[in-house]
Structure 1
Amino acid sequence: MSKTAQGSTMIFLLAFTVIISLYVFFGYLNKGWIFGKDAQLYYMVGRSLYFDHDVDFTNEWTITPHPEHLGEPRLTTTGRIANQFPIGYAIISQPFFLISDICTRFCNNILRTNLPNDGYRGIYGFLVPFSSILLACIGIYFSFKIICQFFSEIIASLSISTVVLSTSLLWYVTGHLTMSHAYSFFVVTAFINASLIFFDKRPSNVPSSRYVLVGSLLSLAVMVRLQNLLFVTIPLISISVNIFKNFSSKTPSAWTRLFLKISLASFSFLIYFIPQLLFWKTIYGTFFINPYATVGQTFKLLDPYFLKTLLSTNHGLFLWHPITLFSCMGLSVMLLKDKRNRIFLLSLTICFLFTWYIIATWNDFSLANSFGNRGFDGSTLFFALGWAQILYILNKKKMVIAICLFFVLWNVQLLFQQRYLGWLPYYGKVSHLQVFLNYKKLPFELERLKLKYF
């Protein structure tokens, strides 16, 4: 193994150690990882599909570990318990329910243990949430491979590891694991990775199988988080630019091949999206609906909170995760310097801007009970590429390590203050000095935690 490969491996191992340590620590303090209203709503769809083969959540509402977080169930016109969240998390989590079931049956039948088999506790309560870590690691690998096309392996591994540990994604791969954000990061990076071929080849020369893959992954990404539909921008821009450049040279047969392949991708998207349509039909009585509107959540399309989304102490992206500000600067430099990959970088930037607009026009730009601004999970690769450019510019080992460590420690201490110690509110503005003044309480908190947990 070369020194470069050894260095990259060491960086990933350190990042994984941090993630696993926080995962175990929070699981111990919280006595599990399935909690919170939204996270339990995501999880119960997967549990219901696996155990009951339906989307009737009556029994899940009673056996979930924290029914007090859910409140009273809200019924739709079909008489079903409402669940506004898409079905992608439930679909992807099915193999992990299966593995948990097999392990539980083996332990109970062969080893004569008495592990619970209710889908929430025992092995299920550990392994299904842990799937978010596994899928996030795959997403990190996809991101690493993409960044390696621009920078060295050391810079690529350091940039993506630092960004994951320095943004809101850290909380959703270590604590709030049954939310959809780690799954979203995984499937979006898989989709972008599959779409790269459109920037290297003419669209008519791209194999039909790749169009099927891209359409299917986009459908899965949308079923995980509906806003992920905006990432269709990436292949669309590439195909459109190629058509514009080669418009006069295309033969009728080339146009026909391209039309058929785009139709194939669209058909794949629709086929894979059928489970979501059936889910909406069963729950709400219609194939097409904005389920978030049923709980009073809407967009203010003409009144966006652009600056607050980035700069508010109420989960503003740049204030909570300052690495993202420097990442945007780095991406701007790449756009100016890298002419060869400018179309790809521009498409990523447009996706980031669309994401910013969607969050800024949401009726609650802070996304309520969020660690930082969790809505930007799909922009993780965008941030990592920009941060890689900053690391490349600095090009001094000690300075690079110190800066990366600073952003990681800043994020981790915010995570501890908000989620472990309760010093920062889950929702609402925070005094700029409060983050620092809170540490006056540290000696008393350490004693309290010692008595409570140890």
Structure 2
Amino acid sequence: MTALHVQFQRSWSWVRTPNRSWLLLIILFVCFIALANPRVYATDEVQYYVYLRSLWFDGDLDFANDYRQFHALNPNSGIDNSLLQPDRIRGETGLYGNVAPIGSAILWTPFFLLADVLVRLSNAFGANIPADGYSWPYIYAICYASAFYGLLGLLLCYRLTRYYASAFATTLATVGLWLATPLVFYMFIQMPFAHANGFLLVSLFLTVWHATRGERNWKTWVVLGLIGGLMVMTREQLGLFLLVPAIEALFSYWNMVRTHVDRWVRLGSLFATHVLFLAVFVLSLAPQFAVYQVLNGSPLPAGEVSGKLNWCSPHMVDTLIDYDPRPSAWCNIGNEARQQPFAHGAFLWSPILAVALIGLVWLWPRDRMLASLLMIAFVAQVYVNGAFGSTWHLTASFGFRRLIECTPIFIVGLALLIEQVPKTMDRRWSMLVVVALIAWNFGLLVNWAVFNPQLREGLVWPDLWLWQLEAPQRLLAEASEILFNRDSLLENPPR
């Protein structure tokens, strides 16, 4: 055994306990948060945020002034061509619409209110910071809140995965799925998107559900109902994760029916807890129903998003690998904008996702129910994305962001796969593969954001290979700007 090998083994023995693994994740988080880009810029970000600003400062849900102000602050963001168009005014209420759900605003509220208190205290001592919801303390508060929630999601994923894998495998899988996927981008670059918040809620839901399997009481079902409601209010499609307890419930009923000991008593008790869960879940959606009522004139969402759905999911396969991005013939889709092949699929942007899914094979012999439910939850998210006929490809987004909330599933899979590496093999090989996948993602990130923005239209082959190889050298040349003057690299820097 070489001296280098011994040193490597000693260095990684440091993360073989949960406390040290958590500390490593926190240290990495602090390093990346120093490079964060906190701002509210694009239309999606603005829609998530204006609930808070308008309710707190204006006392209403009339977003006209909010949209106009964010357009003035970010004139190239496209707000005037989308959010401020006349067809966005609801005929029933005369208010501008907002297709973003309210969950992120709810999660940001403590940080937003703290920022408001600090701004007013600072002004009382002579500072001159506008207490208007547009100034930097408010924006920083909600952006860093999202990053913090993303960190909590990672720590929860670590806890969940440790039931099935060692500390080393779990740590490496958690770091890999964090830094080799779009999650890192939406935690630190486009921070006000809902994905980091949604990732936390899915991680929390699965962790609570898993930790209480076989011993849930009514309090647990209340907690799950509240988390489930907040999940749906953060991103509507996250409601598909409720398939996990729903399918589990069906199997529980079936098993009870087959037994003869206190069958009806046990069935009645279980059914009562499920009714309680559903009641809490529906009640927790009250803020969203209220928002719909005020904005749309009915407690239902507008048709701008749901109207895009084609329930035969013509691009379900393309969501993963778009080898032929024409819609499936059996879906009977008319003319659709042609997409280049191999430009948008999740497995192409983030190959680590495909690697991680393979690991679920080793979960099957240990916990068939969990393996099945996690795969069903993943397929459900792929299905609903494929149903977005006009936006399935997520052009202009970095990576395949709609699968970020499936990160807990991928971390479990990758950790189990790492565990299968023969004990006789050097762990450096596992690390080398994960580091290479992280490097691929960071190459895409800097090319997408700075050097080759044509990637925002999709992966460009074969040019991408050269761009990825050139990225480290170009990154070193721009290091001082990236570290100390990031605004100069933005197409639309903040004023």
TM-score normalised per structure 1: 0.89
Match of residue 139 from structure 2: 125
Listed as ranges, the gaps of 5+ residues in structure 1 are none
Cα deviation for residue 287 of structure 1 reads 1.1
Distance 1:374 1:242 in 2: 34
Indicate the SS of the match to 1:344.
helix
Q: Within 5 A, what are the aligned runs for 1:13-412?
A: 13-23=26-36, 27=37, 32-64=38-70, 65-69=73-77, 70-72=79-81, 73=84, 74-77=88-91, 78-110=93-125, 112-197=126-211, 199-201=213-215, 206-247=216-257, 248=259, 249-293=261-305, 298-302=308-312, 304-312=314-322, 313-335=342-364, 337-338=365-366, 341-363=367-389, 364-394=391-421, 395=423, 396-412=426-442
Indicate the SS of the match to 1:34.
coil
Distance 1:127 1:185 in 2: 19
Which stretch shifts more, 230-239 or 14-23?
A: 14-23
Distance 2:226 2:198 in 1: 14
Asked if the contact 1:198–1:235 (Cα under 8 Å) also holds between the matched residues in 2, the reply is no
Q: Summarize the Cα distance change of 1:71–1:196 in structure 2 as closer, same or farther, 3 Å threshold.
A: same
Listed as ranges, the gaps of 5+ residues in structure 2 are 1-12, 323-341, 490-495
Which stretch shifts more, 363-372 or 12-21?
A: 12-21
Amino acid at match of 2:268: T
Amino acid at match of 1:280: Y
Q: Summarize the Cα distance change of 1:169–1:284 in structure 2 as closer, same or farther, 3 Å threshold.
A: same
The superposition leaves residues 119-153 of structure 1 with CA deviations (integer Å, 9 ceiling, x where unpaired) of 12221121210001110111111111100111122
Distance 2:132 2:410 in 1: 40
The superposition leaves residues 97-132 of structure 1 with CA deviations (integer Å, 9 ceiling, x where unpaired) of 10111111122113x211222212221121210001
Asked if the contact 1:19–1:173 (Cα under 8 Å) also holds between the matched residues in 2, the reply is no
**RMSD between superposed Cα atoms in Å:** 2.5
Cα deviation for residue 442 of structure 1 reads 7.9
Q: Percent of pairs identical after alignment?
A: 24
Q: Summarize the Cα distance change of 1:173–1:255 in structure 2 as closer, same or farther, 3 Å threshold.
A: same
Distance 2:244 2:229 in 1: 14
The superposition leaves residues 348-392 of structure 1 with CA deviations (integer Å, 9 ceiling, x where unpaired) of 110000111111121121123211111102210111011101211
Asked if the contact 2:153–2:203 (Cα under 8 Å) also holds between the matched residues in 1, the reply is yes
Distance 1:448 1:380 in 2: 31
Distance 1:448 1:257 in 2: 63
TM-score normalised per structure 2: 0.82
Cα deviation for residue 315 of structure 1 reads 2.4
Asked if the contact 1:46–1:89 (Cα under 8 Å) also holds between the matched residues in 2, the reply is no
Indicate the SS of the match to 1:178.
coil
Amino acid at match of 2:370: F
Question: Structure 1 residue runs of 4+, over 6 Å off?
Answer: 441-452
Distance 2:432 2:478 in 1: 32
Amino acid at match of 2:298: T
Distance 2:235 2:135 in 1: 26
Asked if the contact 2:356–2:410 (Cα under 8 Å) also holds between the matched residues in 1, the reply is yes
Q: Summarize the Cα distance change of 1:437–1:267 in structure 2 as closer, same or farther, 3 Å threshold.
A: closer
Amino acid at match of 2:347: F
Q: Summarize the Cα distance change of 1:445–1:132 in structure 2 as closer, same or farther, 3 Å threshold.
A: closer
Indicate the SS of the match to 1:288.
coil
Distance 1:255 1:371 in 2: 47
Amino acid at match of 1:99: L
Distance 1:209 1:21 in 2: 39
Asked if the contact 1:139–1:190 (Cα under 8 Å) also holds between the matched residues in 2, the reply is yes
Amino acid at match of 1:71: D
Work out the number of aligned pairs and report it. 437
The superposition leaves residues 150-182 of structure 1 with CA deviations (integer Å, 9 ceiling, x where unpaired) of 112222222112101111111100110111000
Cα deviation for residue 17 of structure 1 reads 4.1
Amino acid at match of 1:315: H
Asked if the contact 1:11–1:158 (Cα under 8 Å) also holds between the matched residues in 2, the reply is no
Amino acid at match of 1:185: F
Distance 1:213 1:3 in 2: 32
Distance 1:439 1:118 in 2: 45
Q: Which has the higher helix share?
A: 1
Distance 1:444 1:410 in 2: 15
Amino acid at match of 1:237: I
Q: Within 5 A, what are the aligned runs for 1:374-453?
A: 374-394=401-421, 395=423, 396-437=426-467, 453=488
Asked if the contact 2:356–2:411 (Cα under 8 Å) also holds between the matched residues in 1, the reply is yes
Cα deviation for residue 440 of structure 1 reads 5.5
Which stretch shifts more, 184-193 or 236-245?
A: 236-245
Amino acid at match of 2:466: F
Distance 2:222 2:475 in 1: 54
